[in-house]
């Protein structure tokens, strides 16, 4: 559907929300990058700058009750799924007000009550778990959908293949979202893949494969809506490949010298935030002043999140063994 028609059909508010969420991710990540470089933040980070349309487009296609699984690069997924940025920030600082009470840190952010499984940093690690969650939804007759986010590198892990095969034979309500940013750490996919599109792998499991432009939130949203709708209505899982790029290094302090300058420049022109901003201005959904107001508001929100994170209490030694186990009643 043409962008103009889609804007009309879904309502302008939906797209402003998507824009706002992408700006929030970008602002969060840029400020966090700065804090790291200044030595003001502990641990390590893998950032989502440039990939915002992937998380936002997919999560905007979900309903309350749906769940996502994430990776070592989870900040964007968390914000897009509605985990408050101040709780994510506090988690990065290792504080008790963090979304995992400061016990997870950057690579494990998440919040079950907001539908995000705490992120799993083992490459490919969340894929079979999300498959299991989708199977549980099916067995319990719940109309819920489980989404797994992972990278191109993860699609070469055994866990990916086992999980997709099981998802297909059990026809579970899942969507497998491969964020193909062309690199697994410093290794180009040219060295790790002999096929053009990772989505082609779906066919070997009798699953639907789809591709979306991961720099275009509207395209991601449209394709994800189709995949999520299929999953929810019992038409089985989909492997959705998003063609994207990270504008930052793989992790903290990586200058990404292994990426040719021309390649970086080419992708910078596809900036997903500028892309949507242009459409919103062209379609007169918002004017320049509205954009400035929105960006200022988000800037303030993230500044407050930093203050909240910095000033929150440290965990106490006596809490070390709390929250390790959940007491469960197993139905007989
Ligand atoms: C099983 C496993 N192997 C290696 C690593 C180290 N590692 C962390 S991230 C990463 C690259 C992952 O690439 P990709 O799946 O494409 O995700 P991206 O970082 O591009 O988002 C590697 C090799 C790991 N965490 N887990
Ligand atoms: Mg990658």
The angle that helices 52-59 and 12-37 make with each other, rounded to 10 degrees, is 140
Cβ atoms of 159 and 176 within 8 Å: the answer is no
Ligand lying closest to the C-alpha of residue 155: 1
The closest residue, in CA terms, to atom 3 on ligand 1 is 123
pLDDT for residue 332 is more than 70: no
The closest residue, in CA terms, to atom 22 on ligand 1 is 185
Q: Is the distance from the beta carbon of residue 73 to the nearest atom of ligand 1 less than 6 Å? A: yes
Using a pLDDT cut of 70, give the percent of the chain over it. 99
The residue-averaged pLDDT of 111-119 equals 97
The closest residue, in CA terms, to atom 20 on ligand 1 is 184
The closest residue, in CA terms, to atom 10 on ligand 1 is 185
Confidence at residue 5, expressed as pLDDT on a 0 to 100 scale: 81
Cβ atoms of 134 and 147 within 8 Å: the answer is no
* Average pLDDT of the chain, as a whole number: 96
- In b/e form, how buried is each residue of 80-95, taking b as 16+ CB within 10 angstroms? bbebbbbbbbbbbbbb
Q: Is the distance from the beta carbon of residue 72 to the nearest atom of ligand 1 less than 6 Å? A: yes
Q: Is the distance from the beta carbon of residue 152 to the nearest atom of ligand 1 less than 6 Å? A: yes
Give the confidence band of 331 by pLDDT, cuts at 50, 70, 90. low
The residue-averaged pLDDT of 264-291 equals 96
Distance 43 CA to ligand 1 centre (A): 17
Q: Is the distance from the beta carbon of residue 123 to the nearest atom of ligand 1 less than 6 Å? A: yes
Q: Is the distance from the beta carbon of residue 75 to the nearest atom of ligand 1 less than 6 Å? A: no
Q: Tell me the DSSP string of 256-281.
A: -TTS-HHHHHHHHTT-HHHHHHHHHH
Q: What residues have CB less than 8 Å from 224, skipping those under 6 apart?
A: 57, 58, 60, 61, 175, 177, 212, 240
The residue-averaged pLDDT of 9-36 equals 94
The residue-averaged pLDDT of 70-86 equals 98
Distance 154 CA to ligand 2 centre (A): 8
Q: What residues have CB less than 8 Å from 143, skipping those under 6 apart?
A: 137, 173, 232
Confidence at residue 323, expressed as pLDDT on a 0 to 100 scale: 86
Burial of 234 (0-12, 13-18, 19+ CB in 10 A): exposed
Cβ atoms of 154 and 123 within 8 Å: the answer is yes
Q: What is the pTM (predicted TM-score) of this model?
A: 0.97
Cα 147 from Cα 163, distance rounded (Å):
12
Give the side-chain half-sphere CA count within 13 A for 327: 1
> Strand runs (DSSP E) across 20-108, as ranges?
67-69
Most ligand 1 atoms within 8 A of CB, residue of 70, 184, 252 to mutate: 184
Task: For the chain, report the end-to-end CA distance as a whole number of angstroms.
Answer: 50
Distance 25 CA to ligand 1 centre (A): 21
Distance 111 CA to ligand 1 centre (A): 22
Cβ atoms of 44 and 251 within 8 Å: the answer is yes
The more confidently predicted of residues 4 and 44 is: 44
- Specify the ligand 1 atom closest to the Cα of 181: 20
- Specify the ligand 1 atom closest to the Cα of 123: 26
Cα 268 from Cα 247, distance rounded (Å):
7
| Token output for 330 | 């197993």
Q: Is the distance from the beta carbon of residue 139 to the nearest atom of ligand 1 less than 6 Å? A: no
Q: Percentages helix, strand, coil for the chain, rounded to the nearest 5?
A: 50, 10, 40
| Token output for 246 | 């990270």
Cα 225 from Cα 312, distance rounded (Å):
38
Confidence at residue 12, expressed as pLDDT on a 0 to 100 scale: 87
pLDDT for residue 180 is more than 80: yes
Give the confidence band of 28 by pLDDT, cuts at 50, 70, 90. very high
- What count of residues does the chain have? 332
| Token output for 241 | 């490949």
Distance 137 CA to ligand 2 centre (A): 29
Q: Is the distance from the beta carbon of residue 154 to the nearest atom of ligand 1 less than 6 Å? A: yes
The closest residue, in CA terms, to atom 21 on ligand 1 is 151
- Specify the ligand 1 atom closest to the Cα of 46: 19
> Strand runs (DSSP E) across 133-275, as ranges?
146-151, 174-180, 183-184, 187-188, 208-213, 238-243
Cα 328 from Cα 184, distance rounded (Å):
38
Q: What does the DSSP 8-state code read for residue 252?
A: T
């Amino acid at each position: 559907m043409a962008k103009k028609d889609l804007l009309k059909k879904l309502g302008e508010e939906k797209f402003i929300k998507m824009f706002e969420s992408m700006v929030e991710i970008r602002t969060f990540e840029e400020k966090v990058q700065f804090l790291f470089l200044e030595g003001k933040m502990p641990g390590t980070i893998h950032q989502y700058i440039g990939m915002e349309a992937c998380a936002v487009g997919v999560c905007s296609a979900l309903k309350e009750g749906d769940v996502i699984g994430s990776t070592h690069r989870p900040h964007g997924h968390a914000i897009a799924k509605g985990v408050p940025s101040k709780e994510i920030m506090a988690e990065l600082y290792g504080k008790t007000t963090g979304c995992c009470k400061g016990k997870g840190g950057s690579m494990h952010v998440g919040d079950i009550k907001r539908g995000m499984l705490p992120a799993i940093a083992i490459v490919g690690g969340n894929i079979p778990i999300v498959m299991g969650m989708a199977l549980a939804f099916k067995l319990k007759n719940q109309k819920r959908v489980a989404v797994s986010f992972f990278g191109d590198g993860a699609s070469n892990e055994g866990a990916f293949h086992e999980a997709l095969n099981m998802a297909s034979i059990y026809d579970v309500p899942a969507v497998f979202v491969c964020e193909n940013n062309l690199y697994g750490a410093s290794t180009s996919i040219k060295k790790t893949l002999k096929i053009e599109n990772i989505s082609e792998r779906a066919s070997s499991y009798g699953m639907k494969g789809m591709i979306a432009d991961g720099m275009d939130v509207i395209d991601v949203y449209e394709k994800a809506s189709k995949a999520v709708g299929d999953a929810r209505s019992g038409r089985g899982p989909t492997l959705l490949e998003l063609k994207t790029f990270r504008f930052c290094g793989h992790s903290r302090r990586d200058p990404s010298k292994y990426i040719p300058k021309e390649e970086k420049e080419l992708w910078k022109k596809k900036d997903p935030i500028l892309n949507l901003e242009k459409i919103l201005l062209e379609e007169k959904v918002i004017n320049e002043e509205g954009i400035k107001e929105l960006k200022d508001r988000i800037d303030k929100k993230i500044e407050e999140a930093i203050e909240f994170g910095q000033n929150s209490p440290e965990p106490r030694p006596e809490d070390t063994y709390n929250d390790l186990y959940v007491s469960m009643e197993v139905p007989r």
